């Protein structure tokens, strides 16, 4: 039987579609996530449409991969998960996750991260994944730790926030196979 890398019984991951523009628009333009996303300006629907059209959904061509997290039960998009800053020569990529507020604390992020890890290591044959997690984001730190990531360092004053700067944990998962 062929392995299924991007789906399980509860969720599946897929490439963005044109009908995702409004959702992406709302998520990308939520100022509460700008501190960790490094966005400095809002995205227009036009720019998002261009992104979807230009994306080849090929991490080797785009150097990144955005996947929409879909609940099988409701067939709704519950969030996004990304591979970013892909460096094929060194076999590594960063991981970013965003879950819509109404779907948090339901296990979707963990399932998506587990699927992404399996896809990254077993299909893409990456050596490592990493993530930057704000020291104030205990839920994200626990999520990454629960999926095998180790906290390997602290980056001081890494994120500029409303009242100054914030440290982040550098989290890493190495594929030892």
- pLDDT of residue 61 exceeding 70: yes
Lowest mean pLDDT among 31-45, 78-92, 138-152: 31-45
pLDDT at 50: 73
Angle in degrees, CA 172, 115, 62, rounded to 5: 75
1 pLDDT exceeds 80? no
Do residues 25 and 42 make contact, with C-beta atoms less than 8 angstroms apart? no
Q: How confident is the model at residue 163 (pLDDT cuts 50, 70, 90)?
A: confident
Extents of the domains making up the chain: 11-126
| pLDDT tens-place string over residues 77-132 | 999 999 999 999 999 999 999 999 999 999 999 999 999 999 999 999 999 999 99
Check whether domain 11-126 has CATH 3.40.190.10, yes or no: no
- Contact status, residue 166 vs residue 143, Cβ threshold 8 Å: no
Could you give the percent of the chain with pLDDT greater than 90? 66
Could you tell me the pLDDT band of residue 34, with boundaries at 50, 70 and 90? low
pLDDT band of 155, cuts 50, 70, 90: very high
DSSP code per residue over 68-104? EEEETTT--EEEEEEEEEEETTTTEEEEEEEE-GGGT
Model's pTM, two decimal places? 0.88
pLDDT of residue 170: 97
């Amino acid at each position: 039987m062929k392995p299924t890398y991007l789906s399980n019984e509860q969720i599946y991951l897929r490439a963005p579609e044109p009908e995702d523009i409004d959702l992406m628009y709302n998520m990308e333009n939520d100022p509460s996530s700008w501190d960790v996303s490094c966005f400095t300006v809002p995205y227009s629907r036009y720019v998002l449409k261009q992104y979807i059209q230009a994306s080849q959904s090929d991490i080797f061509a785009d150097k990144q991969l955005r996947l929409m997290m879909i609940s099988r039960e409701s067939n709704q998009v519950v969030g996004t998960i990304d591979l970013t800053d892909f460096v094929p020569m060194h076999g590594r990529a960063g991981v970013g996750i965003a879950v819509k507020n109404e779907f948090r604390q339901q296990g979707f992020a963990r399932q998506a991260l587990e699927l992404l890890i399996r896809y990254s290591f077993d299909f893409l044959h990456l050596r490592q994944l990493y993530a930057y997690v704000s020291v104030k984001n205990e839920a994200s730190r626990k999520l990454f730790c629960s999926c095998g990531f180790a906290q390997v360092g602290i980056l001081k004053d890494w994120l500029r926030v409303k009242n100054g700067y914030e440290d982040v944990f550098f989290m890493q998962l190495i594929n030892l196979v």
